[in-house]
A = this chain, B = another copy of it.
Amino acid sequence: MQTLQIVKIGGNIIDDPLKLEIFLEQLASLKNPVILVHGGGKSASTLAKTLGIQQTMIDGRRVTDAETLNVTVMVYAGLINKTLVAKLQARNCNAIGFCGADGNLVRSKKREFQGIDFGFVGDIVENGVHVAQFQELLNKALIPVISPITHDGCGQLLNTNADTMAAKIASALCLFYDVSLIYCFENHGVLMDIKNQESYIPELSHTQYLTLKNSGIISKGMIPKLDNAFEALGSGVMEVKICHAEYFADSSTTFKGTKLTRS
């Protein structure tokens, strides 16, 4: 099967013009089909604050009231998505930007109230990734650039975690491609010591992850990221890597970062 690289880029890279340029330069150099999934960065929080919309985060996830949803749609599906597309087009990459509503690419369901009301947050439904639509785009040598906004099919846009979005798309497409899922962010991988970038774990199994989570070495935002990543690996994704956005395209022999392993 053909290799498909699904690259997820986090907010701290999007917010840093120089790091973003280095990342996009690498992305443009890739030969295989690629899907780019992007997160939000600080712009949404900044805009919400300027507009006087109170923001609440629970376990690193944004509580999305109607006004906040509008902000995320504007910033993620609008400003960030189109800025990335224009920058890739300038590098002769035929990027094409989407949210999950476009062409019904990713369908979700408003999260049910379970003690915490996350508001307009969408969890991707079973078979919610429109595989044939992605295949058609990739067959045309287009580079889909995906913002983490989904829809419920009944006219409601929903805010969805970008790490989850990348993992679900990877899981859905791995029947048709050898999928390499790469989470790019501002650290050099999963770190043993958050203050030392050289302390990244080169290979991490699920068992090791659980041990490190229980001991508190892996904590906070890394937990949902790794939960998503291991779920994707378990569903048949060929490889999952977590690394700095500046090094993600390095060949496997020189790869610097964390590679997840099944065993």
Cβ 8 A contact of A101, one of B74, B85, B98: B85
Could you say how many copies of this chain the assembly holds? 2
Q: Tell me which of A3-11, A153-161, A235-243, A254-262 binds B.
A: A153-161
**Is A26's beta carbon under 8 Å from chain B?**
no
Among A81-120, those with CB < 8 Å from B are 81-83, 85-87, 89-90, 94-99, 101-104
The CA of A156 and the CA of B95, in the complex, are separated in Å by: 14
Nearest-CB residue, chain B, relative to A137: B103
Given contacts A50-B51, A51-B50, A140-B136, contact A101 B89 (CB under 8 A): yes
Looking at the assembled complex, report how far the CB atom of A146 sits from the nearest CB atom of chain B, in whole angstroms: 12
Check if B83 sits within 8 Å of A157, measured CB to CB. yes
Nearest-CB residue, chain B, relative to A70: B79
Check if B103 sits within 8 Å of A142, measured CB to CB. yes
**Is A168's beta carbon under 8 Å from chain B?**
no
**Is A149's beta carbon under 8 Å from chain B?**
yes
**Is A202's beta carbon under 8 Å from chain B?**
no
**Is A75's beta carbon under 8 Å from chain B?**
yes
Contact with B along A134-150 (1 / 0, CB 8 A): 00100010100000010
**Is A167's beta carbon under 8 Å from chain B?**
no
Among A11-61, those with CB < 8 Å from B are 47, 50-51
Cβ 8 A contact of A102, one of B73, B85, B104, B155: B85
Q: Chain B residues near A74 (CB, 8 Å)?
A: 47, 74-75, 78-79
Cβ 8 A contact of A82, one of B50, B89, B99: B99
Looking at the assembled complex, report how far the CB atom of A125 sits from the nearest CB atom of chain B, in whole angstroms: 14
Looking at the assembled complex, report how far the CB atom of A120 sits from the nearest CB atom of chain B, in whole angstroms: 12
Given contacts A155-B89, A155-B90, contact A101 B82 (CB under 8 A): yes
Check if A103 sits within 8 Å of B96, measured CB to CB. yes
Given contacts A78-B73, A79-B70, contact A96 B102 (CB under 8 A): yes
Known: A83-B157, A86-B156, A96-B98. 4 other contacts (CB 8 A): A73-B83, A75-B78, A86-B151, A89-B104
Q: 17 A–B contact pairs at CB < 8 A?
A: A73-B82, A73-B83, A74-B74, A74-B75, A83-B157, A86-B157, A89-B101, A89-B153, A89-B155, A90-B153, A94-B104, A95-B101, A96-B102, A97-B98, A97-B99, A97-B101, A97-B102
Please give the residue numbers on chain A whose beta carbons come within 8 Å of chain B beta carbons, in ascending order: 47, 50-51, 70, 73-79, 81-83, 85-87, 89-90, 94-99, 101-104, 136, 140, 142, 149, 151, 153-157
